[in-house]
Structure 1
Amino acid sequence: MATTKWALDPMHSELQFKVKHLMITTVTGSFNDFSAELITESEDFDGATVSFKAGVDSVDTGNGDRDGHLKSGDFFNADEFPSITFSSTSFSKAGGDYKLTGDLTIKDVTKPVTLDVEFGGTVTDLYGQNKAGFSISGKFNRTDFGLTWNAALETGGVVVSEEVRILGELQFVKQA
């Protein structure tokens, strides 16, 4: 079978991250500028190649001061490292769904991560476009990527958890 390219449909996709704040609540953020593509070699997505890129300057937590802090040298250092990237090393079936493993690069640090991928299915939309949907989830330790800023609380604990959860709802369009 020929190689098939699937491009992200940004109007029907979102990428979020969640971290604990003060160890008692969860703050949700997103990237408003991101792209992704899938390259498949078969009728299903087993063995697909996945690439992803997010613009750090598009980070959005609903709070301008917090967003500015995340873009600063304490966290992402958007001026020096404007993008977060992911490149798959494996996309394999796990039951009816998939496991996605690849190299995540934040700042100048690249580490392997594995994400769970729930396959939503494929459908032809009202315009005749073939679409595929995926829900992605996983987690990583932010300090592994040099995102080490934190402050201790008088009551114990820290301001920001080390664990970051990733949640994505991604819709792709099959390219001709």
Structure 2
Amino acid sequence: MATTKWAIDPTHSEIGFKVKHMMFTNVSGKFENYDAAIVTDNDDFTKASIEFSADINSIDTHNSDRDNHLKSADFFDAENYPKMTFKASSFTKINGDQYELAGDLSLKGVTQFVKLPAAYSGLMKDPWGNTKVGLTISGKINRKDWGLNWNSALETGGVLVGEEVNLNVELQLLKQS
């Protein structure tokens, strides 16, 4: 069986997240530097080998003080754990273009198994003849499962940073020749 390698098109992709701030608004962020090794049997993503990594020091929430705090030992501890990694164990079709991506997510030296909803666009040709695939990966994780425990109590009750992290990953993959 022929294998196909895929690369992330960074100009059409985003690794994003949202977290509650002060219990009533969301703060959005993303990772600017990331990479993946994706290999499929022919073009079948249900039999794909998928490994992903993101550079923790590339986190961007549009506030340098907050970004620096996130990189500190209070959160990601980028000095000791510079990468976030994901290694897929399955990509399973649920219904239509809806799939489930499952695998091991590693942050701050802790690895947890996660299942994330995904939408798969199928194969498409761009105007220049390149074969592309689009994936939208969403889902929720609890940051405390990875030891990201820092928080601050609010004077009015509640906490400064929510535990639930909403993931919003938009990937456009380019078939390698």
Does the alignment reach a TM-score above 0.5?
A: yes
Structure 1, unaligned runs of 5 or more? none
User: Aligned residue for 1:62?
Assistant: 62
CA distance in 1 between counterparts of 2:49 and 2:139 reads: 18
Alignment of 1:60-99 (within 5 A): 60-96=60-96, 97-99=98-100
Contact 2:134 2:171 in 1 (8 A): yes
Instruction: Please tell me the residue identity of whatever aligns with 1:95.
Output: N
User: Aligned residue for 2:104?
Assistant: 103
Instruction: Please tell me the residue identity of whatever aligns with 1:51.
Output: E
User: Shift of residue 42 of structure 1?
Assistant: 4.3
Instruction: Please tell me the residue identity of whatever aligns with 2:88.
Output: S
User: Shift of residue 47 of structure 1?
Assistant: 2.4
User: Shift of residue 126 of structure 1?
Assistant: 2.3
Per-residue CA deviation, residues 24-64 of structure 1 (Å, 9 max, x unaligned), is: 00000000001123221144321222111000000000001
CA distance in 1 between counterparts of 2:4 and 2:99 reads: 18
- The structure where strand makes up a greater share of residues is 2
Instruction: Please tell me the residue identity of whatever aligns with 1:31.
Output: F
CA distance in 1 between counterparts of 2:106 and 2:45 reads: 23
User: Aligned residue for 1:145?
Assistant: 146
User: Aligned residue for 1:136?
Assistant: 137
Per-residue CA deviation, residues 68-93 of structure 1 (Å, 9 max, x unaligned), is: 00000100111111110000011111
Structure 2, unaligned runs of 5 or more? none
TM, length-normalised to structure 1:
0.96
User: Shift of residue 154 of structure 1?
Assistant: 1.9
CA distance in 2 between counterparts of 1:45 and 1:84 reads: 22
3-state secondary structure, aligned to 1:156: coil
Q: Which moves more between the two structures, 148-157 or 38-47?
A: 38-47
Contact 1:29 1:62 in 2 (8 A): yes
User: Aligned residue for 1:3?
Assistant: 3
Contact 2:31 2:60 in 1 (8 A): yes
TM, length-normalised to structure 2:
0.95
3-state secondary structure, aligned to 1:149: coil
User: Shift of residue 2 of structure 1?
Assistant: 1.1
Q: Which moves more between the two structures, 135-144 or 125-134?
A: 125-134
CA distance in 2 between counterparts of 1:47 and 1:173 reads: 17
Residues matched between the structures, number: 176
Moved over 3 A (4+): none
Contact 1:49 1:91 in 2 (8 A): no
